[in-house]
Structure 1
Amino acid sequence: SGDLGTGKTTLVRELLRALGHRGRVASPTYTLIEPYNLSRFDLHHFDFYRLTHPGAWRDAGFEDAFDSQTVVVVEWPEHAGDGLPAPDLHLWLSADPGEAEDERGFTATAFSNRGQACLTALRDAGFCATVPSPDWGCAAR
């Protein structure tokens, strides 16, 4: 989540590159979904900004994309209403006026053991110097 221009798609692009994807990474702004077949799992990148109503993602047949074997990243989940499956992790990106132009802040909240493992991986990758608790925030470049 985050306001327009905070770097949500850029974050997904860098995540995919870190996971070994070497192909093009397109924004799903107009397609709603961009699927990626990675070596260890599939990743589906959704952008629900343009949904016309909260159930439109279901009407489009995307419910099957939310399975336990697939990593799903959703931009603008609040536009999908309360019907989305519970997330493992929620990231809120921000571009504060006091930050450098190429710097973004984020707050991460884990909702499961898998989400907590993601927080630990973020810390181990140098994005946050503190030991993650279920709810924490830091600035990342």
Structure 2
Amino acid sequence: MKFVVNSVEETLNLGKNIGKLCNPGDIICVVGDLGAGKTHLTKGIAMGLDVKDHITSPTFTIVNEYDSGRLKLYHFDVYRVNDPDEIYEIGFDEYIFSNGVSIIEWANYIESLIPEEHLRITLQKNVDLGENIRTIELLPKGKRYDYVKEIKI
């Protein structure tokens, strides 16, 4: 399923609509180039989960935890992970196999560690169409993510 968004607000809104449908234990893998909107999408998902905290990218800490929403949110940024063992040291399995929602930015860097069942979201800049134009593709892997068929901007 593909969406074309024209602004940061539309990216946030798409994320919010995803977050409203998330279930305990969901794993969302977000990939895209620098500046593609991964963190804005994550902020939107957090809004849909009713997270009250300010969402920031955990670039240097690898994971931020938020428990002020209807589900606990684990926000990973694995851009700086040099070795898959590094992610295990922080208890990666305990996070992703919990009842929280795990969002993993740069998930393509740790592809071998991602469970088969997950929602993959790819963001792509379309600068030839305009500065803020993005294509966002949702690829559900597993029946639990069939809810993406209901998502709209």
TM category (shorter chain) comes to 0.7 to 0.9
Structure with greater helix percent: 2
- Report the Cα distance in structure 2 between the residues aligned to 1:40 and 1:110, rounded to whole angstroms: 22
Choose the corresponding residue for 1:104, options 93, 117, 134.
134
The correspondence of residues 3-22 of structure 1 with structure 2, limited to 5 A, is 3-22=33-52
- The yes-or-no answer on 1:114 pairing with 2:114 is no
Which of structures 1 and 2 has the bigger CA Rg? 1
Conservation of the 8 A alpha-carbon contact between 1:55 and 1:80: no
The alignment covers a number of residue pairs equal to 123
SS at match of 1:56: helix
Q: 1:20-66: per-residue Cα shift (whole Å, max 9, x none)?
A: 22221111111110111144321101000000112210123222101
Q: Which runs of 5+ in 2 are unaligned?
A: 1-30
What root-mean-square deviation, in Å, do the aligned CA atoms of Structure 1 and Structure 2 show?
1.7
Identify if the C-alpha distance between structure 1 residues 87 and 6 changes in structure 2 by more than 3 Å, giving closer, same or farther. Answer: farther
Conservation of the 8 A alpha-carbon contact between 1:53 and 1:79: no
SS at match of 1:89: strand
Paired position in structure 1 for 2:86: 56
Identify if the C-alpha distance between structure 1 residues 19 and 81 changes in structure 2 by more than 3 Å, giving closer, same or farther. Answer: closer
- The yes-or-no answer on 1:84 pairing with 2:114 is yes
Paired position in structure 1 for 2:58: 28
Q: Which runs of 5+ in 1 are unaligned?
A: 128-141
One-letter amino acid of the structure 2 residue matched with residue 97 of structure 1: V
Q: Which runs of 4 or more aligned residues in structure 1 lie more than 4 Å from their structure 2 counterparts after TM superposition? A: none
One-letter amino acid of the structure 1 residue matched with residue 149 of structure 2: T
One-letter amino acid of the structure 2 residue matched with residue 24 of structure 1: H
- Report the Cα distance in structure 2 between the residues aligned to 1:90 and 1:6, rounded to whole angstroms: 15
- The yes-or-no answer on 1:37 pairing with 2:67 is yes
- Percent sequence identity over matched residues? 28
- Report the Cα distance in structure 2 between the residues aligned to 1:79 and 1:72, rounded to whole angstroms: 16
Q: CA deviation at 1:108?
A: 1.3
Question: What TM-score do you get using the length of structure 1 for normalisation?
Answer: 0.78
Question: What TM-score do you get using the length of structure 2 for normalisation?
Answer: 0.72
Conservation of the 8 A alpha-carbon contact between 1:56 and 1:80: no
